[in-house]
Amino acid sequence: MPVKTLKEFLDSSNIKYVTIKHSLAYTSQEIAASIHIKGKEMAKSVLVKINGKLAFCVIPASYKVDFEKLKKTIGTENIRLANEVEFKDKFPDCEVGAMPPFGNLYGLDVYADTSLAEDEEIAFNAGSHTEVIRMAYSDFEKLVKPKKLSFSFLSKL
């Protein structure tokens, strides 16, 4: 079952989405492969600390955060990857590492890479390592109101 809070939020907002079950997978690239979508269409949530405050950076699964570009774009040097101890208790309805990119539901800022808007739909973890939600990117943008920036690059696997 997807995160109850997220489903209730999507339903109350009259958003069309599908829930897709898949075999146990931990990386966004593995999940994308198991549900037969391109890595670029699978959005992953990267938790960062910006000036000491947790935030979501949402990028395609096949991309990596360019921290130098993010620092320049936001205008601060104080940005780093958050460690699990810093966020594991912040998402009580999610498995660690499977948080959906809806930071607004948890009081966190969300930065979405502009490359996500290149696809009509995105898929993302639904709070577990066995379920994703797929929906229109435009609906994600409307609900989350992320700060749209260019701060990632295609990863060479």
As a whole number of angstroms, the distance between CA 28 and CA 140 comes to: 18
- Read off the CATH number of the domain in which 148 is found: 3.90.960.10
Higher pLDDT, 50 or 155: 50
Residue 95 lies in a domain: yes
pLDDT tens digits along 26-55: 888 888 888 888 888 899 999 999 999 999
Question: Could you tell me if 52 and 77 are in contact, meaning their C-beta atoms sit under 8 angstroms apart?
Answer: no
pLDDT band at 132 (very low <50, low <70, confident <90, very high): very high
Residue 157 lies in a domain: no
Residue 37 lies in a domain: yes
pLDDT at 120: 95
pLDDT tens digits along 76-102: 999 999 999 999 889 988 988 899 999
Among 132, 136, 142, 143, smallest CA distance to 45 is for 132
How many independent structural domains does the chain possess? 1
Continuous segment of H or E residues that includes residue 124: strand 121-128
Residue 67 lies in a domain: yes
Domain that includes residue 124, residue range: 4-152
Structure tokens at 15: 């958003």
pLDDT at 2: 52
pLDDT at 1: 41
Residue 21 lies in a domain: yes
Q: Which residue has the tokens 């898949």?
A: 22
pTM of the model: 0.92
The vertex-120 CA angle with 67 and 11, nearest 5°, equals: 95
DSSP string, 77-105: S-EEEPPHHHHTTT-TTS-TT---S-GGG
Among 141, 142, 121, 118, smallest CA distance to 132 is for 121
pLDDT at 31: 87
pLDDT at 157: 59
The partner residues of 111 in beta bridges, in order of sequence, read 57, 147
Query: How many alpha carbons fall within 13 Å on the CB side of residue 18?
Result: 8
Sequence-separated (6 or more) residues with CB below 8 Å from residue 151: 57, 59, 65, 66, 69, 70, 73, 111, 113
